Amino acid sequence: MAASGSSGDSGRPDSDRAAWFRGAGASCSIRPEARERSYRLVLLGPPGVGKGTQAELLCEALGTCHLSTGDLFRAAGCDPNPTPALAAALEAMRRGELVSDEMVIDLVRERSGCLRCRGGFLLDGFPRTVAQAEALDKLLQERGESLDAAIAYELPTEQIVERLGGRRTCSGCKAVYHVVSRPSRVPGVCDQCGGPLMERDDDRPEAIRVRLAAYESTTRPVLEYYARDGRLKSVAADGPPEQILDRTLRGLGVAQGETP
């Protein structure tokens, strides 16, 4: 997903997400603009359903910062000397497995300043287990905050596999493309920053199968966790991205053109 801040004149609020990527007290050099209403949201749904794509559009519409744990791990993967714990996490991810709850919760706790960002937040990839969902509620409560909604995208498996098979991601700004449904203007080159487009390691067919199975067994219960107290909003993820965005905003009670 494109780092906010690279959006220039797109009308999107600017943030370089430095606090999210670097953690440990780092602050963003470009801050999201203050709006009347800020949203604190979680995006849920199987791998490849389009969470990252929607996050980019929602950030623009709501002035919210995109906080993706997957992007965080992939950025850490460029570290030439990862700690043993991080190396083990990256290897689990390459196989398509989930990283341990402890490690992910620690990473988010280190970045909990982002949960109080005045632009709000759009968590993507976290929480992925009920233990992580409980930890997030606790972190928010400690900071006097609460979640507005958990948005769950749904799509049949065959369409998911099609989306993942054609995905290309910019190795620089993390913008997401699809060779058929969302191609870059120049094949293999990012429209936004000119960086090279890559296939993800975990988009191999064997890793996709593991990821989909992990989603059903471990993340599906998170939807039930949020449904219990009415925070879950289910959204059909078929059709073009703009149509899905429209459904999402309606689910949140935000009419297009009236974004905060």
Exactly one of 12, 40, 51, 174 binds ligand AP5 (CB under 6 A); that residue is 51
Instruction: Specify the DSSP element, H or E, that contains 44.
Output: strand 39-44
Asked if 126 interacts with ligand AP5 (CB under 6 A), we say yes
Of the residues 2, 57, 59, 93, which one makes contact with ligand AP5 according to CB under 6 A: 93
Query: Would you give the end-to-end CA distance of the chain in angstroms?
Result: 22
Under 8 Å between Cβ of 133 and 139? no
Considering just the CA atoms, what is the radius of gyration of the chain in Å?
A: 17
Q: Annotated catalytic, 167?
A: yes
What are φ and ψ of residue 46, in 5° steps?
A: -60, 160
Residue closest to ligand AP5 (Cβ): 70
Q: Which of 128, 163, 168, 231 is catalytic?
A: 128
What's the number of CA atoms in the CB half-sphere (13 Å) around residue 255? Answer: 2
CA–CA gap between residue 128 and residue 221 (Å, rounded): 9
- Let me know: does 89 contact 2? Beta carbons within 8 Å: no
Q: Which of 5, 23, 32, 52 binds ligand AP5 (CB under 6 A)?
A: 52
Annotated catalytic residue: which of 17, 40, 51, 168? Answer: 51
Rounded Cα distance, 32 and 232, in Å = 26
Instruction: Examine residue 167 and tell whether it contacts ligand AP5 (CB under 6 A).
Output: yes
Among 80-88, 158-166, 187-195, 249-257, the segment contacting ligand AP5 (CB under 6 A):
158-166
User: How distant is the alpha carbon of residue 93 from its chain centre?
Assistant: 15
Is 53 a binding residue for ligand AP5 by CB under 6 A? The answer is yes
Residue 240 interacting with ligand AP5 (CB under 6 A):
yes
Please list the active-site residues. Answer: 51, 128, 167, 200, 211
Contacting positions for ligand AP5 (CB under 6 A): 45, 47-53, 68-70, 73, 92-93, 96-99, 104, 125-126, 128, 132, 163-164, 166-167, 176-178, 181-182, 202, 211, 240-241, 244
